[in-house]
């Protein structure tokens, strides 16, 4: 059992790291564009504890709320200040605004590339039992991690989706499972239960494919592909809600407590599977340890990057939207209008964040098993 304190440390480091990387992207792009940055703060803007050092006019500081970081560019909202962000060429402002979300997406590519390199490429054509939950129908039936699922009720299965379909069609009825265990065929009988939570699975097993080592090209291209698919899914989410393809409760916002709960589940599973690996007798097939925490960091990095690019005032995407008329029509929206809209939007966003975080306690979201 992992203590809440350990999970809290991992949660703060992961979330703070994502925010820090985002701001680092803005900082690097601002320096490239010749925009002066007055301060790069470690932690959220709050009481300044200390100034570490000053480099090329930028003060690197530590603040009281140790979560992420922020930058304070010169003339961020005032185009009359020379050398500031608001007075810079619109193309340069565009680069600076894009750089933060881009760094989050690059982080996700790195995370998923690393996961593919460490876990290998799936080999389709057979289904592997990756995990077996405690006190589940699968465990009662004698299923083990590492077993290869060959057939269900005499029907050969080679794809995970088809196996899930057959299991769901036989809820609360015994099913016969033909397994390959270390080259020997084993027949087991288990009963998938409709009473189990969706996040637990009717049988309580995690399905995957056997893997082979991934090449460097496969790892990187796979990292880009997973990041692209996840980003497109987030962009499509509002459309899916409008179309009714997704229920509102399945796409609700969660705050810091909800994210912490997700880390709690992920860290607990990662630690547990690693303990199980070390406990396996020598020579016996060992279950593969999970990497849910890294997966979660990758998904949250994509969410942070994509959400910041949504055309919402006060976010990077909203500021980009205000920059486009100057690029397309060579006519700038008055800075007073832009600052007023961004200010009102920021107040509304703060109100939304407060509401979402309160709802995390009043009506906690059901955290699915990854």
The DSSP-derived string for 234-246 is HHHHHHHHHHTSS
Phi, psi of 122 (to 5 degrees): -70, 140
Kindly tell me the burial class for residue 163, based on how many C-beta atoms sit within 10 Å of its own C-beta (0-12, 13-18, 19 or more): buried
pLDDT of 370 reads 44
Measured between alpha carbons, how far is 169 from 152 in angstroms, rounded to an integer? Answer: 11
The length of the chain, given as a count of residues: 370
Domains and CATH numbers, the chain: 89-120+216-370 (no CATH), 122-212 (2.30.42.10)
369 by DSSP, 3-state: which?
coil
Query: Cβ(288)–Cβ(122) under 8 Å?
Result: no
Q: Which residue stretches of the chain have pLDDT < 70?
A: 1-2, 199, 277, 279-287, 367-370
Closest by Cα among 115, 46, 102 to 304: 102
What is the DSSP code (8-state) at residue 334? P
Question: pLDDT tens digit string along 319-331?
Answer: 999 999 999 988 9
pLDDT the model gives residue 314: 87
Contact 38, 84 (CB under 8 A): no
pTM: predicted TM-score of the whole model, two decimal places: 0.84
pLDDT, tens digit, 9 for 90 and up, residues 16-46: 999 999 999 999 999 999 999 999 999 888 8
CB 275 within 8 A of CB 19: no
Beta-sheet strands, E only, within 123-210: 127-132, 148-152, 155-156, 175-181, 184-190, 205-208
pLDDT at position 281, please?
A: 59
Work out the number of other CB atoms within 10 angstroms of the CB of residue 315: 20
């Amino acid at each position: 059992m992992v203590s809440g304190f350990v999970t809290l440390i991992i949660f703060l480091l992961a979330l703070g790291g994502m925010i820090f990387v985002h701001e680092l992207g803005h900082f690097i792009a601002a320096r490239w564009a010749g925009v002066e940055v007055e301060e790069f703060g470690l932690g959220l803007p709050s009481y300044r504890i200390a100034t570490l050092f000053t480099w090329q006019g930028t003060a690197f500081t530590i603040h009281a709320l140790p979560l992420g970081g922020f930058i304070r560019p010169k003339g961020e909202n005032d185009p009359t200040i020379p050398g500031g962000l608001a007075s810079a060429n619109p193309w340069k402002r565009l680069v600076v605004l894009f750089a933060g979300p881009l760094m989050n997406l690059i982080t996700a590519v790195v995370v998923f590339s690393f996961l593919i390199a460490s876990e290998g490429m799936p080999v389709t054509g057979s289904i592997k039992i990756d995990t077996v939950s405690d006190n589940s129908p699968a465990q009662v039936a004698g299923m083990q991690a590492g077993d290869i699922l060959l057939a269900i009720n005499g029907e050969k299965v080679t794809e995970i989706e088809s196996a899930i379909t057959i299991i769901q069609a036989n809820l609360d009825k015994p099913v016969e499972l033909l397994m390959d265990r270390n080259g020997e065929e084993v027949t087991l009988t288990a009963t998938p239960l409709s009473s189990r939570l969706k996040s637990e699975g009717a049988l309580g097993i995690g399905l995957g494919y056997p893997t082979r080592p991934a090449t460097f090209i496969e790892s990187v291209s796979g990292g880009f592909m997973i990041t692209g698919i996840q980003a497109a899914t987030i962009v499509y989410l509002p459309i899916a809600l409008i179309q009714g393809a997704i229920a509102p409760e399945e796409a609700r916002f969660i705050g810091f407590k909800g994210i912490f709960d997700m880390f709690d589940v992920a860290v607990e599973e990662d630690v547990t599977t690693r303990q199980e690996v070390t406990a396996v007798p020598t020579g016996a097939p060992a279950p593969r340890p999970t990497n849910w925490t890294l997966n979660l960091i990758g998904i949250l990095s994509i969410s942070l990057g994509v959400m910041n690019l949504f055309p919402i005032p006060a976010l990077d995407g909203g500021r980009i939207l205000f920059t486009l008329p100057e690029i397309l029509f060579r006519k700038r929206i008055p800075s007073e209008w832009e600052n007023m809209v961004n200010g009102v939007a920021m107040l509304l966003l703060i109100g939304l964040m407060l509401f979402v975080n309160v709802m995390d306690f009043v009506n906690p979201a059901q955290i699915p098993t990854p």
